Amino acid sequence: MEEIKACMQTALRSLTRKMSSEKEMLEKLQKWKYSTESIDAVMSDLKRLRYLDDNRLIDALCEEYFTFKKYGPIRVKQTLFKKKFAASLIEETLLLYEDPKRDLHHALYWGEKKMQRLAQKERPAQVRSLQQHLYTKGFRLDTIRQVAQKLIFNKQQDFE
C-alpha cells in the first residue's frame, strides 16, 4: 500500500510538470523501479481520473503544433511519435487535422521569414536553403515546391 502511494505521488508530481502519454508515464514509473502491481494500480487510477488520456492529450498537442507553432504535418507526426503515442492513434488524429490550405499558409509564413535572411544570396542558394528550412518545419514536398515557386520565382499559384 505504501509503494502504491509513493508511485502515485511520483506520477502526480511528474504530471504537474508536464503532461505525458500513457506509455511515457509507464516508462517513467518503471524507471523508478516500482513493482508491476503498483504501476498497474496507479496507471488505472490515473486513467479513471482522466489524468492520463491519450486522446485528449494528442488533440491538445495537434492543436498547439498546427495552430501556434505552425508546424507541417510531417513534423507534427514525428513529434507525436517521440511522445510515444500509438501509431494508429497518431494516424487517426492526423486525418482529422489534415488541411492542405492551412499547411500552405503556414509554409508561406515560414518561407517569407526565411527569405528575409536570404535576400543577399544567389538564387540557387536561396532555393536550397528555403527548401531545407521548410522541410525541417515538416512540410510536404508539394507544399515546399509551391512556396518556393511563389517566393523565389514569383509564380502565383492558388494562394488566397
55-78 per-position pLDDT tens digit = 999 999 999 999 999 999 999 999
- pLDDT confidence of residue 119: 86
DSSP state of 67: I
Domain ranges of the chain: 2-48, 54-96, 100-151
- CA atoms 47, 50, 53, 55: torsion sign: positive
Q: How many CA atoms lie within 13 A of 89 on its CB side?
A: 18
- pLDDT confidence of residue 153: 81
Residue ranges in the chain modelled with pLDDT below 70: 155-160
Q: How far apart are CA 84 and CA 106, in angstroms?
A: 26
Instruction: Output 118-123 pairs: Cβ under 8 A, ≥24 positions apart.
Output: 123/152
Helices (H), the chain: 2-17, 22-31, 36-48, 54-63, 73-82, 87-96, 100-118, 123-136, 141-151
Q: How far apart are CA 20 and CA 115, in angstroms?
A: 37
Cell numbers found for residue 31: 524507471
* Domain 100-151 in this protein, CATH class: mainly alpha
